[in-house]
């Protein structure tokens, strides 16, 4: 446990009590210092001045998680909150009979633990190799109580998430399959663009199953819909993603 980027190679994303994380202790080793953090402006840390940045840096641990490993499972005690610095995390809720709903995909800058109660409300699985800043929930809450403007920032993020969630309700409740897929692709492009300034070629770290569970569809329907888009020359399928050929056409489907 000594300052190197030894990433955990935990395979089964659904083994409950396995070791899931890997520490990259303190400010030494793998991870970037807050002052040089690429995604600082995107998340909570955008609200911090330099002295506060030092303060929060003392509270965090840099954590590395391998693809397919779980950060935490729905129902686990919510002892930690996270800021994502690299990679993509799938947030999902399971029904007892195996049905699953993906409630979101977290990207760099996103905060995990906005709606933290005693336990996590969803499972978080790494899709990529993921880098995070980890805080003890109690420490982080204490920090917020000392820093009202950071609490305010937290609330702004939560409010934004709530708005997104309501848009997702419209999608799930009232949109057809093709509208859902088109909206997903456009939204994903928007998010990647915001972070990396990406162009029309989208990396999709999630599987078709993940997309289906996010959109309230089956894997076959997602596959068929994407194939239709390709046939209509709206998309091109590329390795690990798609290339958007006609964003206007997709936007026209969403309305």
Residue 177 is a binding residue for DNA (CB under 7 A): yes
Burial of 190 (0-12, 13-18, 19+ CB in 10 A): exposed
Of 81-89, 110-118, 149-157, 170-178, which part binds DNA (CB under 7 A)? 170-178
Looking from the CA of 143 toward its CB, the CA atoms found within 13 Å total: 23
Return phi, psi of residue 22, to 5°.
-150, 130
For residues 100 and 73, give the distance between their C-alpha atoms in angstroms, rounded to a whole number.
Answer: 13
**Residue 170 contact, options its own copies, DNA, none, Cβ 5-8 Å cut-off depending on partner type:** its own copies
Q: At what angle do helices 177-196 and 247-254 cross, to 10 degrees?
A: 130
State the nearest-atom distance from the C-beta of 212 to its own copies, in Å: 10
Count residues binding DNA (CB under 7 A): 18
In the complex, least distance from residue 129 CB atom to its own copies, rounded to whole angstroms = 26
Nearest residue (CB) to its own copies, 31 versus 215:
215
The one of DNA, its own copies, none whose footprint includes residue 152, by CB under 5 to 8 A per kind, is its own copies
| 200 close to 234: Cβ distance less than 8 angstroms | no
Among 35, 170, 237, 238, binds its own copies (CB under 8 A): 170
CB of 98 to DNA, least distance (A): 10
Applying CB under 8 A, which part among 20-28, 79-87, 172-180, 226-234 lies near its own copies? 172-180
Q: List the 111-112 sheet strands across, edge first.
A: 23-24, 60-65, 130-136, 80-86, 111-112
CA distance 20 to 217: 29
Kindly write out the interface string for residues 45-64 of this chain, putting x where it contacts DNA by CB under 7 A and - elsewhere. Answer: --------------------
Question: Residues 182 to 241: which contact DNA by CB under 7 A?
Answer: 207-209, 216-224, 226-227, 237
CB-based contact 81:113 (threshold 8 Å): yes
Name the binder of 241 from its own copies, DNA, none, CB < 5-8 A by kind.
none
State which residue, 68 or 100, has the beta carbon closest to its own copies: 100
CA distances 61 to 30, 109, 142, 212, 251, Å, are 11, 16, 17, 34, 41
Q: Note whether 111 and 157 are within 8 A (CB).
A: yes
Stretch that binds DNA, among 84-92, 134-142, 172-180, 184-192 (CB under 7 A): 172-180
Can you tell me the distance from the alpha carbon of 140 to that of 144, in angstroms, rounded to the nearest whole number? 6
Q: Kindly list the residues in this chain that would bind its own copies in the complex (CB under 8 A).
A: 93, 95-97, 99-101, 103, 114-117, 121-122, 144-145, 148, 151-152, 154-155, 158-163, 165-170, 172-175, 213-216, 255
Q: Kindly list the residues in this chain that would bind DNA in the complex (CB under 7 A).
A: 176-178, 207-209, 216-224, 226-227, 237
């Amino acid at each position: 446990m000594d300052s190197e980027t030894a990433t955990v190679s935990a395979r089964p994303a659904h083994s409950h009590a396995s070791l899931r994380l890997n520490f990259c202790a303190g400010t030494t080793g793998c991870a970037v210092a807050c002052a040089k953090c690429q995604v600082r402006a995107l998340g909570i840390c955008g609200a911090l001045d330099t002295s506060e940045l030092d303060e929060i840096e003392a509270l965090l641990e840099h954590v590395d998680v391998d693809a397919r490993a779980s950060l935490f499972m729905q129902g686990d005690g919510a002892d930690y909150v996270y800021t994502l610095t690299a990679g993509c995390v799938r947030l999902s809720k399971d029904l007892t009979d195996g049905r699953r709903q993906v409630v979101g995909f977290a990207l760099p800058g996103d905060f995990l633990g906005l709606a933290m109660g005693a336990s996590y409300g969803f499972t978080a699985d790494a899709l990529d190799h993921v880098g995070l800043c980890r805080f003890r929930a109690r420490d982080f809450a204490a920090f917020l109580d000392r820093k009202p403007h950071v609490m305010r920032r937290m609330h702004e993020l939560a409010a934004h998430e709530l708005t997104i969630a309501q848009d997702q309700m419209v999608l799930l409740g009232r949109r057809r399959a093709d509208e859902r897929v088109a909206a997903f692709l456009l939204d994903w492009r928007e998010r990647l663009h915001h972070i990396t300034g990406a162009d029309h070629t989208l990396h999709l770290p999630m599987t078709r199953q993940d997309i289906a569970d996010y959109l309230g569809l089956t894997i076959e329907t997602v596959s068929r819909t994407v194939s239709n888009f390709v046939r209509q020359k709206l998309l091109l399928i590329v390795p690990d993603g798609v290339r958007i050929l006609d964003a206007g056409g997709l936007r026209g489907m969403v309305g």
